[in-house]
Amino acid sequence: MALEVAQFICLNDNFGLLVHEPELGATASVDAPDGEAIANEAERRGWPLTHLLLTHHHADHVQGTQTLKARFPRMKVIGAAKDAHRLPPLDRAVSEGVLVEVGEARARVIETPGHTLGHIAYYFEDDEIVFVGDTLFSLGCGRVFEGTMEMMRLTLETLADLPGETVVYCGHEYTQANAKFALTVDPDNPVLQSRAQTVADLRKDGKYTLPTTIALENATNPFLRVEDPGVAAAMGMRDSDASSVFAAMRERKNNFAA
């Protein structure tokens, strides 16, 4: 069994993500930024939706739920139990460690608070794929809207500890802007320099920069490298701990003009 993943742009820079399990023909959409676009792509591929896996409650991730439910009435809506009060009506509310079945595939729920308190990721361990919503981005991370900086740092640490070969799908195409910032706080990293050029070339050709991998992010994403002395030095925080470096980096990124 091998999952098939289709990604495409919805709205402005959100990704539509379809996860197809071919043995039983099950298909999940990860989030619902644009119900019509997602439904049309699922139908074009002959993948009627059986599941909707919500990562968090923000409108650009849930606003297409009602449209998808109308187009695919048997679709099961799954989301975080902690956020059930502010998500669309759920058929199943899940929490840390729960297994979600999509056909014969199994995703383990990882609670990833920080961007929002109820944010979750879906980790298909057997397929070496994780869907992280707006928590981890290629060369960046989500803004901290509801949690604390330390909460987000620890969440990213949890994701960074997944096997290096794990393929990472994110909620937005933000990599090029993230690369410009990353180079300001990790300027002497040759792997990052190479990655930034690859990203620029991909975007010039109109191609996506995702998916990425945990190994590539650990090597190039400054938010996963806050314990690196070179990063701390570039931040002007040579003697600071990782928590302080992360908080300062996230604040600096908030005000960065790409």
Q: For residue 56, indicate whether it is catalytic.
A: yes
Q: For residue 172, indicate whether it is catalytic.
A: yes
Residue 75 DSSP label: P
Q: Which of 20, 51, 58, 119 is catalytic?
A: 58
Q: For residue 34, indicate whether it is catalytic.
A: no
Q: Which of 51, 57, 115, 119 is catalytic?
A: 115
Q: Which of 20, 57, 119, 172 is catalytic?
A: 172
Q: For residue 57, indicate whether it is catalytic.
A: no
Q: Which of 20, 51, 61, 119 is catalytic?
A: 61
The backbone torsions φ and ψ at residue 181, rounded to the nearest 5 degrees and listed phi first, read -70, -45
Residue 197 DSSP label: H
Q: For residue 228, indicate whether it is catalytic.
A: no
Q: Which of 34, 83, 134, 186 is catalytic?
A: 134
Q: For residue 115, indicate whether it is catalytic.
A: yes
Burial, 241: exposed, middle or buried (Cβ in 10 Å; 0-12, 13-18, 19+)? exposed
Q: Which of 34, 60, 83, 186 is catalytic?
A: 60
Residue 229 DSSP label: H
Burial, 1: exposed, middle or buried (Cβ in 10 Å; 0-12, 13-18, 19+)? exposed
Give me Rg for the CA atoms of the chain: 18
Q: Which of 51, 56, 57, 119 is catalytic?
A: 56
Q: For residue 60, indicate whether it is catalytic.
A: yes
Q: How many CA atoms lie within 13 A of 128 on its CB side?
A: 11
Rounded to an integer, what distance in angstroms lies between the CA atom of residue 127 and that of residue 136? 19
User: What residues act catalytically?
Assistant: 56, 58, 60-61, 115, 134, 172
